[in-house]
Structure formats: structure tokens, C-alpha cells
Amino acid sequence: MASSLTKDSARTTGGEKSFFGHPRGLATLFLTEMWERFSYYGMRALLVYYLVSGGADAAVGSQGGGLAMTAATATAIYSVYVSMVYLMAMPGGWFGDRVWGARKTVAIAGAVIMVGHLSLALPGQAMFFVGLILVAAGSGLLKANISTMVGHLYEGPEDPRRDGGFTLFYIGINLGAFVAPFVIGTIGKEHNWHFGFALAALGMGLGLLQFLLGTRHLSPKSSVVPNPLSPEERRAVLLKATGAVLVLAVFYGVVVAMGAYTLNWALVPLTLAGLVIPVAVLVRIKRDKELSPTEQSKMNGYIWFFVAAAIFWMIYDQGGSTLSLFADDKTADSVFGFAFSATWYQSLNPLFVMALAPVFAWLWLWLARKNQEPNTIVKFAMGLVLVGASFFVFIVPMGMAGDGTKVSPMWLVSIYMVQTIGELCLSPVGLSVTTKMAPQKYASQMMGVWFLAVTAGDCTTGLLSLAGVDLNGTGIIAMEATLAALAGAAIFMYRKKVQTLMVDVH
């Protein structure tokens, strides 16, 4: 499968075929990530619809056979699930660094994800939640290690092909995410939920198969465990993990035996953990006395970016929950007589990313040549204002649909486009500033810290849903939009103070 995308004209050292002028191993990783994103975004496009299907909050005439949950519960589950994917990136990186190495971790992750999707394909609420746990765990393991393996293909940070290689890899991510809602989403939502989830499992299976067949093209460094656990450390970790599992098993066993168990017994602790853990990690780094005064100052500055990112993702990730429910129930499902599934809206973000990312890359370079490129702080402020603006726009079709009118799909197209522009202002910059501001001691962990901002944002959404807040109401949408706009304005107003804290980072 990898060889079909290679070409003879450009060869790497040793006469091996290349992948568009890059090491052939990039084809293996490109396709692995493409198929993994295909499975993940296909399943994600179905998730909220499956949860509400058959219940009072499902759209009229929609397919039955789901779990008949309320929109609030479905939004909470969706938010907690997405947050756990990003939370698991930190232990995923730990497994790659200390237990299995990146290559073995990715292989195991792919198998776990595939089994998770197969569990979703089986009927029954118990199997559904088992599947969600497996997909979240596997995605976290894979996410933390596959990008590292792309870096291993190149001869250090100065390799001129490195940036281009990551660009191709990024295309693979968005290509899989773009196609999935058309295939998995349409079949699952319009015909059979479990067949849709099974297609997600097939996609991950294809990705895992070609990864295993193509591992010979990867760098030997990908098989190395950089900092393996000593026998004493391994025993300590196993003891702690076993103890934690036993405590949880006993606790939940007692709750079930008393007849007190409800879904909130699982959702509330996970949501609170997703808020407490990011704060605890930042506090631990901040209180490290080994950090130099300069590193302490940079961490103070980084907290501004972290909080801003959490607010951004709180709104942005509702594209798969709040906006999805609005798309299914209150948005017209045809354009010029052509009918389509509401899952197709989930293809808009990757489509806009692929179309606009090159434009933004050119724009920043053009402005830099004129010495007018916005700095990191201003770009962050722009991202927050834009994501807030998207929800201000959302208020308009919400008002129009109040009397049962089906609004034009172009409203949602516009909202997703504004959010994507905001993402392109904030997300790449956030990744870059994380690496630049990371204390030397925590250099390898800080990317996981950045992902915790997503966890915190999504868990905030989940907690609001569990508290009974109607996230599909005009009032809360306006409040979230205002919060993002004010946060963007605050960062812009205090940009000189933040820049001082950043020291030499620009």
C-alpha cells in the first residue's frame, strides 16, 4: 500500500525509493495516520447522533436503534471522550519513552483502536462504553508517538526536508478526517449504526496492516526505548497500577451493589480529573525549584497561552456536539434538491484546513518580509476572537430556527469556516510556542501539556452539561462567545506584559 504512493524519480541514500522526495518510511506513517484519522473522525461523526437516536432529542424521522439519551448527556459523553483522547497522550508518550518504544507503542495502539471500534459495532450499552474507552486509550497512545517517528526519519532538526515531511504528514491527517464523514458517517447514520462503527474498525485495520508491512522502512531509532524503566521502577509502576485498579474495582463494586450506580458516577470523576490534572501538572512544573528564573518567567507566560487555548477548544470542539445536533434537527438537509447527511458537516474543518493552511503559510511569510507579521500573542488573540465570533454568528440561525424553520446549511458552513481560520491562527502557533517556552527539564513532556489544554476545555463543556446547562440554548452560546472575545481582548491588551514574561521568545 505504501509503495503505491512512492515514485522512482527521487531516491534517498542507499537507492531506496522515496515518498515525494522524502524517506519512504513517511509513506508508512502518512497512511497509518490517514487511516487512523479516517476511523476516528468517522466514529466521532456518528457519536452524538447514536447517543440521542431513539430519544426525545433526536431529529424527527431519524434512524432509531441508538441509546436514546438526552442532548445534554450526549454532549457530556462526547466532551469527556474527546478530552480523554488528549489526556491519554501524556501516558502515551511515557509508554513510548520508557516501556515499548515509539514503533511498538503505535502498533499496539492501532490494535487497541481497532478492537475498540469493533466493540462499538456490537449492540449493547456496555460494549459501547468499552469501545469508547479502548478508542480513547489507543488514540492517546498513537497520537503521542507517531509524530515522533516522523521526526526520526530525518537527520536532525536542520534536515531541509523536515518541515516538508511534517506538512505531508499533516495532509494525511486531514485527508482521512475529510473522507470519513462521507463514508462512515453516511452509512452509519442513514443506514446502520453498527455497520458504520465496523467500517471504522476496518479503516484502522487497514492502517495497522500497512504499518506492520512498512515498518522496515522506518528509522531504527523508532524501535529504541529512550529511557527504559529499571526493574525496580517497573515493579513500582505495576504495584501502583494494580493498587489503583483494585481500589476503583472495589469502590464501583460497592456502588453497584448498593443500586446507586448511574452514568454520572463515571462521567463526573472523569470530567473533574480532566480539569484537575492539567492544573496539577502546571503547578508541579511551576514549583520545580530546579527551574532557572528565566524558565520560571517563561512558564508564567505560558500559562496565559494555556488558559486561552482551553477557552478556544471549549468552543471549537462543540463542532461535533452542539453544532452537530443543530445540523441534524434545525438545518435543511438538501441544497438545490441534493440531499445529504448531517455528518457531512464534519468534513468542513479538514477541507478548510487543507484549502487555507497554504494560504496562511504564504500570508505570514509575506507579512514577515514587510516586517508586519503579527507576533505569537496577537495570533492567539485573533484565534480567540474568531472562535468567539463564530458563536456570535451561531446565535442568528438559532433565533431563525426557534419557530421550527429549517435554516440554510450555509450558516453552519460559515461557522465552521470562521472556526477553522481561528484554528489556523492559534493551533500551529500554540505547538510552536510550547516547544520554545518549555523548560529544558520538561522539553519532552511539554507537548503533552499542550494537549491538556484541549482536555481542560472539553471537560469544562462536559461539566456544564452534567450540571444541567443547556448548551443548545442561545444564552449559553452568547456567554461562551463573549468569554472567548473577552479573553482575546485581554491577551491583546496585556501583550507587552506577556511578551516580557516570554523573555527571548517571539
Name the DSSP class of 11. E
pLDDT at 444: 67
Q: Report the sign of the C-alpha dihedral through residues 86, 88, 91, 95, in that order.
A: negative
Phi and psi angles of residue 109, each rounded to the nearest 5 degrees, phi first: -60, -45
pLDDT at 8: 38
Residue 315 pLDDT exceeds 80: yes
C-alpha cell at 486: 473577552
Task: Give mean pLDDT, residues 42-51.
Answer: 95
The residue type at 461? T
Residue 5 binned pLDDT confidence (cut-offs 50, 70, 90) = very low
pLDDT at 11: 41
Per the CB < 8 A criterion, the answer to whether 304 and 491 are in contact is: yes
pLDDT at 6: 39
d(CA 244, CA 66): 33
Task: Give mean pLDDT, residues 254-280.
Answer: 93
pLDDT at 156: 67
Per the CB < 8 A criterion, the answer to whether 465 and 79 are in contact is: yes
pLDDT at 404: 87
Q: Which range scores top for mean pLDDT: 279-283, 361-365, 390-394?
A: 390-394
148-157, 286-295, 356-365, 409-418, range with the lowest pLDDT: 148-157
Class of domain 15-228: mainly alpha
Average pLDDT of the chain?
90
pLDDT at 448: 83
398's CB contacts (< 8 A; 6+ apart) are 326, 330, 474, 477
d(CA 505, CA 503): 6
Residue 147 binned pLDDT confidence (cut-offs 50, 70, 90) = confident
Per the CB < 8 A criterion, the answer to whether 186 and 343 are in contact is: yes
Residue 351 pLDDT exceeds 70: yes
Nearest to 89 by CA among 147, 46, 35, 31: 147
Phi and psi angles of residue 9, each rounded to the nearest 5 degrees, phi first: -65, -30
d(CA 445, CA 439): 10
Residue 435 pLDDT exceeds 90: no
216 Ramachandran zone, left/alpha/beta (phi>0; psi -120 to 50): alpha
* Residue with the larger pLDDT of the pair 154 and 37: 37
Residue 428 binned pLDDT confidence (cut-offs 50, 70, 90) = confident
Nearest to 349 by CA among 427, 291, 246: 427
Per the CB < 8 A criterion, the answer to whether 167 and 154 are in contact is: no
Chain centre to alpha carbon of residue 486:
24
Class of domain 270-506: mainly alpha
pLDDT at 158: 66
Task: Give mean pLDDT, residues 267-291.
Answer: 92
C-alpha cell at 400: 431563525
Give CA angle at 330 (325, 336), nearest 5°: 115
Name the DSSP class of 123. S
pLDDT at 506: 65
pLDDT at 402: 87
* Residue with the larger pLDDT of the pair 332 and 429: 332
DSSP readout, 25-48?
A: HHHHHHHHHHHHHHHHHHHHHHHH
Give the position of cell 527551574. Answer: 291
pLDDT at 1: 40
pLDDT at 14: 46
209's CB contacts (< 8 A; 6+ apart) are 1
**SS3 state of residue 407:** strand
13-27, 32-46, 258-272, 341-355, range with the lowest pLDDT: 13-27
The pTM assigned to this predicted structure is: 0.91
Residue 477 binned pLDDT confidence (cut-offs 50, 70, 90) = very high
Residue 16 pLDDT exceeds 70: no
pLDDT digits (tens, 9 = 90+) for 360-379: 888 988 988 999 989 889 99
Name the DSSP class of 22. B
Q: What is the four-CA torsion angle of 406, 343, 478, 493, rounded to 10 degrees? A: -140
Q: Which range scores top for mean pLDDT: 42-51, 86-95, 164-173, 424-433?
A: 42-51
pLDDT at 272: 95
pLDDT at 12: 45
Phi and psi angles of residue 282, each rounded to the nearest 5 degrees, phi first: -65, -40
d(CA 441, CA 269): 31
d(CA 295, CA 306): 16
* Residue with the larger pLDDT of the pair 444 and 417: 417
H/E segment holding residue 10:
strand 7-11
Residue 129 pLDDT exceeds 80: yes
